[in-house]
Every structure is written in C-alpha cells, then in structure tokens.
Amino acid sequence: MAVTLADVAARAGVSAATVSRVLSGSYPVTEGTRGRVLRAVAELEYVVDGPASALAGAGSDLVGIVVNDIADPFFGVLAGAVQGELGGAGPGGEKLAVVCSTGGSAARELDHLTHLQRQRAAAVVLTGGAPEDPGHARALTAKLARLAATGTRVVLCGRPPQEPEVTAGAVGAVGAAGAAVGRARGAVPPVTLAFDNRGGARRLTAHLLALGHRRIGCVTGPAGRTTTTERLAGHRDALAAHGVVDVPALTVPGAYDRSSGYDAALELLRREPRLTAVVAANDTAALGVCAALRDRGLRIPEDVSVAGFDDLPFSVDAAPALTTVRLPLREAGARAGRLALGRAVAPPGGVARLPAELLVRESTGPVRPAATSAGGAEGAGGAVSGPIGSGRVGA
C-alpha cells in the first residue's frame, strides 16, 4: 500500500500541514521538527508527490543502472550494453539511463534504490555481485519488492538469484495490500541473469592443473562478496577433483584492481618462491600480477603462468595475451536492457544462468621441468616437498 502524507505525519508526531511545509521548504520550521519529518520520510520510504515525481511519474523515461564502480571495465561494458537497448521506438519507448555507482557500499546501494523509487523509475538494472550480509539481503529484497509493486521492472544482471526464504519474508513485509497494488499496476517479478563464476573458475584452474601446475597461487576479490566466494569455490573444486591439497597460504585476498594484483603476487612469491602459476580475481588484477612477476625477473609463462577472469576488452592485447574466462558481459547487459523495457521474454522461473567460457591464450603454459624436479615427484603425482608446497592426496 502506498505511504501517504498522513502516515508520515503520524510517524513524526506532527500535522500533515507541517510535513508539507518541511517537504516544500517554503515555510520555516524548527530543526527538531524538520529532522523528525525527514526521518519519518526515510523510514517509511515515502515517495514525495510534486514536480520531481510528476516528471518521473507513470510512464517514466528513467532506467536506473546500479553498478559497483563505473571506472571498472566490467561494469562499464555491462552499463553500456544496457544503455544501448534503451533507445528506439520499440515497446516501452526510448528511455534515459541513469548510472548509479555504489563504490562497493551496501548502504549506498539501498540509498540509490530509494532515490530511483522516489523518481518512479520505469526499470532498475542491478549489476555485479552482492554483499554476503543476511541483513542487507533482506533489506535489498524488500526494496526490490516495493519497486516491483509500484510497477518498476527489476533485473539482476551478474548476480546470483535471491534466496527463496529471504524473498518470501520481504514480500510478506510489503504486505498483501502492497501486492494488490502491484498487480493492479502490472508488477513484474524481478528477473535474474546469473554468471557461472564457479564453473568458470573450476575450468580455469583445471586448465593449469592439466599443464602440470601444482603450486598455484590464487588472488581473490574482496571478502564478503558473492563473486569472490563463487570464484574461490570453483578454484577449490578443481583442486579437489585433481587430488591436490588446497593450501590456505597460497590464497591471498585482494580486490579487482591492478595494484591489488601486484601486491598479492609479491606476497605469494614471499610465501612460496617456487610458485608456478597464479589465477587472479579478474583480468585487471592479473595485469598487476604480471607486472610484479616481471619486476622480479620472472617470465610469463616460461617461469610463472598467469590467468585472469572476465575477458575484459584489454585482455587479448596484454603482453602476453591473457588466458581468461569469458563472461558474456555485452550479451548479458543487452538482454537485461531488453528485459527492463519488456522487449524480451523472461526466462523460466525468472532465472537464467549464463555460461562462462575458458579462453586459452599465451599467458599460460606447461610447468617448467625445473619446477617439477624441485618438487620431488610433482609431475608423477607424488607429494610436493617444501614448506608450503601442495601435493596430491592419495593415489
């Protein structure tokens, strides 16, 4: 059910006229009263009626694209592909894209969604991984349910599907009246386009293992993000499938940037000087890994193989060209844009899992003979000696 001016007045303990004065800014009110009214507006997520909302009312031309970092090529490709679908004379008409960058802040993500709701955005495309915080997951799902209930189309692009129990609780919080309003306004349930991060990471590490590598360092993304967890899980899946021990010291947390990859590579070499391969959180971090290895006088891939993830535009032009996992970023963004405008049919169950493709290039190669012999019997499946070396388990 839509929140009214009277609801805000009741929550703030003032009259409806006072709420109007605060929101219009045309009459003086005390700071204490103004603060109570604004808190009530935020808590109830009241959508202000007025020039701004009239401009973005029914039939809004606004589509919000929420990204982690617009300077990150991953999000730039996604956002550009979404925006490319918002023009033309197809169903939904031409729309204006508004890109909202969260900077990795879960709170800012919710704030952006609140602002888009107040502007009555025609659609919202939420991109990239999600924070692994149950409280945020509940708040986000409730927010998306409110958006859908007011007629805003919601697409999750590059995110895992929302948990059913969390979704059920959030929808319950919106209430039956809100659901009825949503049905009356033609509400469309959120659609998810999820990347196969885990499967892609599994295939990437399996490729290195097939080349004879056993001392494989892993530079992960930020802790507490679904993308980081999924890619690390895939790496560990491959190690387990090949009977190789997952040595915690060979995993270094980082971020999705070059400097993080550089620092993480130096730390891995400090922990295990006989390292023969590194899988990085993404292609940008992989460039940092390559730079660190070169600064230490190591050749790629003759001494150390390096692999990235995402197949960002520059990866094929790196020297050497990066072995990586291709995610269909442009295709996913374009599909999300069409779904946001109702120009594409939603997948069965509202969830589509998009494949990840291994691309083998020049930055990975067979483990060097010296590294194999240094390990004792690494290539033959024997345990790797040394302070940290990981080896096969059993026969």
Q: Is residue 22 classed exposed, middle or buried when 0-12, 13-18 and 19+ CB atoms within 10 A define those classes? A: buried
Question: What's the predicted TM-score (pTM) here?
Answer: 0.78
Q: What is the dihedral of CA 132, 137, 138, 140, to 10 degrees?
A: 150
- Per-residue pLDDT of 165-176, as tens digits, reads 544 444 454 444
DSSP characters for 72-127?
Answer: SHHHHHHHHHHHHTS-SSSTT---EEEEEE-TT-HHHHHHHHHHHHHTT-SEEEEE
At residue 166's C-alpha, the angle toward residues 164 and 171, to 5°, is: 95
Tens of pLDDT, residue by residue over 156-213, are 999 998 876 544 444 454 444 344 434 434 557 899 999 999 999 999 999 999 999 9
| CA 100 from centre of chain | 14
Range in 13-27, 42-56, 64-78 with the lowest mean pLDDT: 42-56
Q: Model confidence at 277, in pLDDT bands (50, 70, 90)?
A: very high
pLDDT of residue 56: 39
Q: How far apart are CA 384 and CA 387, in angstroms?
A: 9
Lowest mean pLDDT among 32-36, 105-109, 283-287, 325-329: 32-36
Cα–Cα distances in angstroms (integers) from residue 281 to residues 76, 130, 230, 295, 311, in the given order: 17, 16, 11, 20, 12
Q: Quote the strand ranges of the chain, DSSP E.
A: 62-67, 96-101, 123-127, 153-157, 191-195, 216-219, 251-252, 277-279, 305-307, 324-326, 351-354, 357-359
Determine the average pLDDT of the residues in 132-153. Answer: 93
Q: What's the average model confidence in pLDDT over 316-336?
A: 97
Read off the tokens for 121. 């955005």
Alpha-carbon span 162 to 239, nearest angstrom: 28
Q: Is the pLDDT of residue 370 over 70?
A: no
